[in-house]
Structure 1
Amino acid sequence: MATGPVLICRPGPRAAALAEAIAARGFAVERGEAMALEPLPETAETRGAWLDFDQFRRVVVVSPYAAECLAAVLDRYWPQLPVGIDYYAVGAATAETLHRELGVRVHVPPGGGETTSEALLALGSLRRLDDQRVLLVAGEGGRTLLAETLAARGARLTRLAVYRRRLLDPTAALRRRLAAGDYRALVVTSGEILEHLARWCAETALHQPLIVSSTRLATLAGTLGFRRPVVASGATPAALAAAVAEADPEQANVDHDDLEKG
């Protein structure tokens, strides 16, 4: 494994928590800006959905930034939240954001598995949605699996895009690291970002450890030519930091020695 920093390319404010978790494991960390998150302006469609928010039976939120956007708009339209709505989040960070900002109980995929759309859809309460009004709060574009499956299960679905993702060209410094493979590991939790960065990855970089948050991303990594994908147990900072340590033979030896001494 190379001796450079661990590169993280997580957009938005969550990058700071990820950097802190990896640094706590004893690694130098460098952030690479590859994507910006931008809230979308309100439209007549979105305003109508916010005004009718109390008519939804279930609200599904796909990311922490979507949760932040939802909380901000509900603060304007619904200072007191309507009752009788069940909230769902694809991952723990999204659930934590909803709970912190709105004070609501949130359904998440079962513990111990990946935090993916597929895992969320396995919840029993989402298996039959006959004629229930369901709101899906997401970013612009992205995967269609959630929307298609919820609609196929009978939901009267409204999908609202509340933010956009804008890809950024890597800085000269990041391009040099990707071209030379001059880093200890690369941490990516978005397929869009992974495909974007692959354009600048030379052969050496493709043989460096790539830390991803799901088997779906690992499969994509393989098609892009990455030889050493490591699947974390989830997309949380702790899970990703643990995967970085797992991919580092020196760190693994240290952990093993500590266990032997214990």
Structure 2
Amino acid sequence: MTDAVVITRPKAQAQALAHQVAQLGREVVLLPLLEIFPLDDQCALIATLADLRRYALVAFVSPNAIDAAFAHIPAWPPEVTVAVLGEGSRAALAAHGIDPSNTTIISPKDPSRSDSENLLQTLDLASLAGKEVLIVRGESGRELMADGLRAAGARVTTVAAYRRSVPPMSAPLREQLQRLLDTQNDWIITSSEALRGLFALVNALGNPEYVAKLQQQRMIVPHARIAETASGLGITQLTLCGSGDERLLAALQSRP
């Protein structure tokens, strides 16, 4: 029997990739490792997004940030530059009608390093000195991008657009994890936070053998930072493929 492909993205973002994996003839298992929720109080988000033209640059940290923000954006001002971290965010922008034909979109040049550090290296930081920059993100997140922009002289505003959490352990989730770990599968991991959450869930199973089995699973990751997290957690079979679903699919097909 062909090993399954475990897709760990939030449910709303997993369907398109799941369909493409199924077209390869592979069994697909959806295991969302992060649950995405709207903010209880969206007043600050709505107020911030009401005056986008004041910003020289708006940076979205994830597809979730894009989807949550565009629920409150009737029309994007084309003169405002957008910065994103990876191909998934470019696809999310395109779903809202934003693409290079109508908006300047900046992202890291190296698809394997789709992170804040490389976005800062790609941006013309000198041109942002003294200008307003907005970062749209989840309720929590790294400060590196904001700190780097402020160090370059930009006036940075951050606003939360959503909240996320690892799903709580439940009887069905416990059974699913045990079943998956009792076989060898390909796991697509697109978030360091999700990977750490997966290890926390497996530790909660209460059997160290399952942690060892998780460390021996085959994992495909799009970013070097996730690969570093995986290596630190003891993953032994790791493929770094670069950002974008086409690279994830190519990595799956190249497996022996």
> Normalization by structure 2: what TM-score?
0.85
Residue 174 of structure 1 deviates from its aligned partner by: 2.3
Name 2:179's counterpart in structure 1. Answer: 177
Q: Which amino acid aligns with 1:109?
A: P
Residue 240, structure 1, aligned to residue 230, structure 2 = no
Residue 59 of structure 1 aligns to a residue whose secondary structure is strand
* Counterpart position of 1:91: 86
Equivalent AA in structure 2 for residue 225 of structure 1: G
- 1:148 counterpart residue number: 147
Q: 1:15 aligns to what? A: 14
- For the 8 Å contact 2:46–2:72, the answer to whether it is kept is no
Q: How large is the RMSD of aligned CA atoms in angstroms? A: 2.2
- Alpha carbons 1:5, 1:30 under 8 Å: kept: yes
The match for 1:167 is 166
- Specify every segment of 5 or more residues in structure 1 that has no aligned partner in the other structure, as ranges: 250-262
Cα deviation digits, residues 187-240 of structure 1 (max 9, x gap):
111111101112314312311211111121111111111111111121x22211
Report the residue type matching 2:249 in the other structure: A
Deviations 1:131-164 (A, max 9, x none): 1100001112122221111111111001111001
Equivalent runs, 1:61-80 vs 2, <5 Å: 61-75=60-74, 80=75
Q: Distance in 1 between matches of 2:157 and 2:123?
A: 21
Q: What does residue 229 of structure 1 align with?
A: 238
Contact 1:54 1:82 in 2 (8 A): yes
Equivalent in the alignment of 1:255: none
The whole-number CA distance in structure 1 between the counterparts of 2:121 and 2:146 is: 14
Match of 2:207 in 1: none
Q: Which moved more, 1:54-63 or 1:20-29?
A: 20-29
3-state SS of paired residue (1:40):
coil
**Residues 179 and 127 of structure 1: is their aligned pair in 2 closer, same or farther, counting only changes over 3 Å?**
farther
| Cα 1:81/1:194, change in 2 over 3 Å | closer
Q: Is the 8 A contact 1:66 1:162 kept in 2?
A: yes
Q: Write the distance in 2 (CA, Å) between the matches of 1:34 and 1:69.
A: 19
Partner of 1:257: none
Structure 2 segments unaligned to the other structure (5+ residues)? 203-209
Task: For residue 30 of structure 1, give the secondary structure of its aligned residue in structure 2.
Answer: strand
2:220 aligns with 211
Q: Give 1:195's aligned residue.
A: 196
Give the counterpart letter for 1:233 in structure 2.
Answer: G
Task: For 1:178 and 1:36, locate their aligned partners in 2 and report how far apart those are by CA, in whole Å.
Answer: 20
Identity %: 29
Q: How many residues align?
A: 241
Q: What's the TM-score, normalizing by structure 1?
A: 0.83
Distance 2:163 2:142 in 1: 13
Query: Residue type of the partner of 1:222?
Result: S
